[in-house]
Chain A
Amino acid sequence: MARHTVHVTVNGAALVAEVESRLLLVHLLRESFRLTGTHIGCDTTHCGACTVLLDGVPVKSCTVLAVQTDGRNVTTVEGLEKDGKLHPIQEGFMQEHGLQCGFCTPGMLMTGYALLERTKSPGEDEIRHAISGNLCRCTGYVNIVKAVQHAAAKLR
């Protein structure tokens, strides 16, 4: 069928949308659900500005169809803060100047968050490797690494 109803849990909230088959997940989030924290930076699946978690795993939401998320869980940057309390990954970025223009930041936060869910003390090279699917033009990555390490220390 060319249109489907998608039931997807986004940041813990059960949402519904009627969508075209071809609707990309990133547009479902940004336009159907008005969660504009997830950004679009390219058209060839390189930049990672669109990174969200699908069932806890980072994916590039520009290369996932909305219909593929039916019955599943999506977490976006808007879902990191809980009850007014920032997640350590968000604190880390702020404390270590891990962002400048802020456009790649949501993708970096989601990738960093997922990394710290699986690794307690990632080293620098491990962090650089984990974020190698997320491009940044402003920071030169040095402080992003520090931000993730700051968050790791807070979480330990």
Chain B
Amino acid sequence: MIPASFDYHAPKTLPEALALLGQLGDEAKVLSGGQSLLPLLKLRFAQPAHLVDIGRIPGLDYIKEEGGVLKIGALVREAALEASEVVRSRYPILADTAAVIADPIVRNLATVCGNLAHGDPANDHPATMLALGAEVVVTGAKGTRTIPITQFFTGLFTTALQPAEVLTEIRIPAPPPGSGGAYVKLERKVGDFATVGAAAFLVLKGGVVERAGIGLTNAGPMPIKATAAEAYLAGKKADEAAFAEAGRLAGAAAKPGADRRGSVEYKKEMARVLTVRALRKAAQRAGGK
């Protein structure tokens, strides 16, 4: 439970952090909440020579809606997201998601951006961001670039983040009228990773689906966007029959591995069941209930 030795750096500004990361290259890891990284170090699964702590940099912990977009800064803690008024009232799917990540104490330090940057398909926010059609803003020494979330996850524990880049903001389009989203997680106990998780976001007009976003957690080597299920729902009446078929398609898209949380068959079936439940709840919220 003791990490190997490393050097620790605590830059005071983002340019300073980026310059350090540039210098240190792949020998350095970014430390923000530390609740995914430090456990790896303690088990010596990772032994970076340097940690660059961005936790001292001011001005990175904002949650704000502006220009039709919800912006979440690099140092927003899960607990803050869960408690945020604007999130609870206008983006409840994010509050659903934050509320089931790890446990309440870990959420006091774990960051939302970190949950994406870590690239772990078992983390919960990726599925939600996929369902919401989010974008991430990534900052390097040369400036920022914006990456659609669909292009962000590239492999197991791998993202589109280049060396010496930091994920500095998540952007989520403001919810159009008649929309609603929900995240449902099947976990063996509080604090566990998902056996499977499903995020659903629906835009309804007159009870018909204009568009749907469905993301799956821990259902494959990368977070999964259930595109076939989404395509199927477009134009359909948002009813139990449609949800059942969408669930079936989502389950078919899941490519989970077997482990102590369940067999491949069980997890695929749970992806189906949870997608149906998430869709039901999203539709309820879209209908204003």
Check: A45 CB closer than 8 A to any chain B CB.
yes
- Residue from the list B5, B8, B43, B104 in contact with A129, Cβ < 8 A: B104
Q: How far is the CA of A93 from the CA of B10 in the complex (A)?
A: 39
A62 close to B6 (CB less than 8 A) = no
- For residue A22, which residues in chain B have a CB less than 8 angstroms away from its CB? 2-6, 8, 41
- For residue B104, which residues in chain A have a CB less than 8 angstroms away from its CB? 58, 111, 129-130, 132-133
Size of interface on B: residues with Cβ below 8 Å to A: 31
- For residue A4, which residues in chain B have a CB less than 8 angstroms away from its CB? 8
In the complex, which residue of chain B has the Cβ closest to the Cβ of A44?
B39
Check: A38 CB closer than 8 A to any chain B CB.
no
Q: How far is the CA of A103 from the CA of B55 in the complex (A)?
A: 31
Check: B109 CB closer than 8 A to any chain A CB.
yes
Size of interface on A: residues with Cβ below 8 Å to B: 31
- For residue A60, which residues in chain B have a CB less than 8 angstroms away from its CB? 105-106
B6 close to A59 (CB less than 8 A) = no
A65 close to B191 (CB less than 8 A) = no
- Using an 8 Å CB-CB cutoff, how does the interface string of A39-77 with B read, 1 for contact, 0 for none? 010011110100100000111101111011010000000
- Using an 8 Å CB-CB cutoff, how does the interface string of B1-23 with A read, 1 for contact, 0 for none? 11111111110000000000000
Q: How far is the CA of A59 from the CA of B38 in the complex (A)?
A: 13
B191 close to A132 (CB less than 8 A) = yes
B35 close to A63 (CB less than 8 A) = yes
A65 close to B8 (CB less than 8 A) = yes
Within B187-220, the residues touching A (CB, 8 Å) are 190-191
Q: With A63-B34, A65-B34, A132-B190 known to touch, is A58 a contact of B2 (CB < 8 Å)?
A: no
B1 close to A1 (CB less than 8 A) = no
B103 close to A63 (CB less than 8 A) = no
Check: A105 CB closer than 8 A to any chain B CB.
no
Q: With A2-B5, A21-B51, A65-B34 known to touch, is A45 a contact of B109 (CB < 8 Å)?
A: no
Q: How far is the CA of A22 from the CA of B38 in the complex (A)?
A: 10
- For residue B9, which residues in chain A have a CB less than 8 angstroms away from its CB? 1
Residues of chain A having any CB pair with chain B under 8 Å: 1-2, 4, 20-22, 24, 40, 43-46, 48, 51, 57-60, 62-65, 67-68, 70, 111, 129-130, 132-134
15 new A-B contacts at CB < 8 Å, known A4-B8, A59-B105, A68-B31: A1-B8, A21-B5, A22-B2, A22-B5, A44-B39, A45-B106, A57-B79, A59-B109, A62-B1, A62-B42, A63-B34, A63-B38, A63-B106, A65-B34, A68-B55
Q: Which 10 A-B pairs have the closest CB atoms?
A: A133-B103, A21-B8, A43-B1, A133-B105, A132-B190, A22-B3, A57-B108, A63-B38, A58-B105, A67-B8
